[in-house]
Amino acid sequence: SQELEQSPQSLIVQEGKNLTINCTSSKTLYGLYWYKQKYGEGLIFLMMLQKGGEEKSHEKITAKLDEKKQQSSLHITASQPSHAGIYLCGAANFGNEKLTFGTGTRLTIIP
Amino acid sequence: GAGVSQSPRYKVAKRGQDVALRCDPISGHVSLFWYQQALGQGPEFLTYFQNEAQLDKSGLPSDRFFAERPEGSVSTLKIQRTQQEDSAVYLCASSPGGTHLINIQYFGAGTRLSVL
C-alpha cells in the first residue's frame, strides 16, 4: 500500500518568513493533493499536481511535484497568521478515487 | 447548500451505544467518501460511493461500521456498539466523479465522536 511521509511534523515560523513542507511517497504518485485543515474544521483544498515537474501557485503558496513523481513540496512565501494550520498531502491511486494522506505538518506563525 | 454538510458536529456516546452520522454532499456530486481521522493523524479512508453503489468499503475497521447512500445523495455512516477506539473525527467528502480520472474532493467540517 502507498505511504506518505511529511516533514517536518511541526513548524514554528516567524511572520514574514518563508517555509517549505515536504511530502514523500513510497510509490510513484498518480496525483498529489495539498489540503489545509484548521482545528475543528474540515480540509480545504489548496492544489493538485499530476505531472512530473509540475508547479502551481496560488497567492503566496507554491506546490511542486518532482520529475520522478515521488516527492512534492509546498512553499509559503512571506508567511502570515492566516497560513497557520495543518497541511496535509494526499495521494490518488490510479483508477481509484480514494486518497491516502500523510500525517500532516502543523504550522504555527508567531509575530 | 454550497458545501458538504455534516451532522451532528459533535456526538458523545456511551460505550455500546449505536450512532448515526449524516453527510449531505455538494448537489450533483456523484462520488462520496467517508474518512476517519484520529487525533494528530491524517484522515484514513473508510468507504466510497458512486451514486448509490458502494464501490469500496475496504477501510471499514469492523462489521460494526456500516454506510449507506440509498438515493445517491445523502449518506449515513452507522457505528454499532461503539467502542472507545471509535473516538475520532469522521470526515465526509464529495467529488464530481463521472468520467474524470482525478476529481477534487471537497470535505465537510466533520463529526467529532467521543465514546465514553
For chain B (length 116 residues), average pLDDT per consecutive 10?
90 98 96 95 95 95 97 97 97 84 87 97
Give the residue from chain B lying closest to A102, CA to CA: B42
Number of CB atoms found within 10 A of residue B53's CB: 9
Sign of the torsion formed by the C-alpha atoms of B95, B86, A25 and A38: positive
A38 vs A41, A108, B107, CA distance in Å?
5, 11, 12
- Of A39, A50, A34, A55, residue with least CA distance to A106: A39
Cβ neighbours, 10 Å, residue B28: 10
Spatial contact of A52 and A65, defined as CB atoms under 8 Å apart: yes
Q: Give SS3 for B59.
A: coil
A97 to B103: CB separation less than 8 angstroms, yes or no: yes
Interatomic CA distance for residues A103 and B63, integer angstroms: 26
A70-110 residue pLDDT tens: 999 999 999 999 999 999 999 987 777 889 999 999 999 99
Alpha-helix runs per DSSP H in chain A: none
A-proximal residues of B, 8-47, CB under 8 Å: 31, 33, 35, 40-45
Distance from CA of B108 to the nearest CA of A (A): 5
